[in-house]
Amino acid sequence: MLSQQGPFSHQRRVAWLFLAPSLFLYTLYVLFPILFTFYLSFTDWDGLGSEVLPLCVVDPELSCFENYRELMDDEQFWVSVKNTVYWLLFYPLAAVVGLAFALLFHVKGVLTPFYKSLLFSPMVLSLVVVGTIWSWFLQPHFGLAEFLLKQVGLLDPEGQVGIMASFDYATFGVILAACWPHAAYCMVLYLAGLSNLQQNVIEAARIDGVSRWQMIWHIVLPMLRPATLIVALVTFIGSMRAFDIIMVMTAGGPAGSTHVLGTYMYEQTFQSFRYGYGAAISIVLFLLSLGLIVSYLAATGEKNRAR
């Protein structure tokens, strides 16, 4: 054995020794569950008992893909897919607001640190708290949103902000609430990006008399590309993970119209006790994320090479 020991063999042993406890936990709670969810999606486990067999083993009449076949005919599933797409499309609104705030508040001033702290603060609130606050905010009859819209005349005095009761718009109410803390997060990332910009390019442009909008659009934004890539990634992951705030504000309602894949999966699993079916839904969510992440990495990798 001695002959196999290179200069790093001691380091190798120590490395695995140090890694062992947390790697064990990580395998148990993160890596194994991914595979096990795949397996469960072929079963109809009801949450009781430790023995779980695939559908086609229990009942030879059935296909092992029965859960997936059923999904295709499940209207609620398609509503959840549609809402997941809405989250993907409209949650990035937070990134736009975050960028605007970063540009607006990247200034020197006595008040700036205080203002920044206030703007950042929603980020540390639990989404349960954010959801609770925004639920009243958007309430009909007495919500602040309705009050303000009436004050500025955008809504007649008898009108109502019924957004959270609407099958068509409730999802957008939830997304709006979720954007509030997320915009603060995007602002932090963009501020970090702004403070890393190369000053000489900006100075040169200023001396050349470039206008404010030209400066932002043609010089600052392209130079913020690294920050934008990070913001895009965290925004995309955040929209795929949406859960807490939906459960708190609507619990998927009214009539299932605000479910996304991540909450519909929970509802089927822990409220209808269809663990196998819930597993199939989470696999769809997982594959969707995986596809998007791979295309994101491919696209950004491509451009980085081209530069």
Partner 1 sequence: MPAERKGVWYWLLASAVVVVWMLPVVASVLTSLKSLDELNRGEYWTFPEALLFSNYAEAWDAGFSDYFWNSFVITIPSVFLVLFFSSLNGYVLSRLHFRGREALVLIFVAGMLLPFQILLIPVFYLSSQVLGTYDTHFGLILFHTAFQVGFGSFFMRNFILTLPGGLIEAARLDGCGEWRIYSRIVLPLMKPALAALATLLFTWIWNDYLWALIMIQSDSLKPVTFGLQNLRGQWVSSYQLQSAGALIAAIPPVIMFVFLQKHFIRGLTMGSTK
Binding to partner 1 by residue 137, rule CB under 8 A?
yes
Binding to partner 1 by residue 49, rule CB under 8 A?
yes
- Give CA–CA dist 100/216, Å, rounded: 11
Query: Using CB under 8 A, which of the segments 58-66, 115-123, 155-163, 167-175 binds partner 1?
Result: 115-123
Closer to partner 1 by Cβ: residue 158 or 168: 158
- Give CA–CA dist 243/241, Å, rounded: 6
- Any bridge partners for residue 54, and if so which? 43
From the list 2, 3, 29, 158, which residue makes contact with partner 1 (rule: CB under 8 A)? 29
- CA of 149: how far to CAs of 85, 137, 140, 153, 233, in Å? 28, 12, 12, 6, 34
From the list 76, 160, 228, 289, which residue makes contact with partner 1 (rule: CB under 8 A)? 289
Binding to partner 1 (CB under 8 A) within 162-201 occurs at 180, 185, 188-189, 192, 194, 197, 199
> Which residues are CB-neighbours of 78 under 8 A, at least 6 positions away?
none
- CA of 60: how far to CAs of 10, 37, 53, 124, in Å? 53, 22, 12, 52
Binding to partner 1 (CB under 8 A) within 59-98 occurs at none
Closer to partner 1 by Cβ: residue 71 or 285: 285
Binding to partner 1 (CB under 8 A) within 8-27 occurs at 8, 11-12, 14-16, 18-19, 21-23, 25-26
Q: How many CA atoms lie within 13 A of 228 on its CB side?
A: 10
Binding to partner 1 by residue 213, rule CB under 8 A?
no
Binding to partner 1 by residue 265, rule CB under 8 A?
yes
From the list 5, 63, 121, 271, which residue makes contact with partner 1 (rule: CB under 8 A)? 121
User: Which segments of 196-260 does DSSP mark as H helices, in order?
Assistant: 199-207, 212-214, 221-223, 225-241, 244-249
Binding to partner 1 (CB under 8 A) within 242-261 occurs at 243-244, 247-248, 261
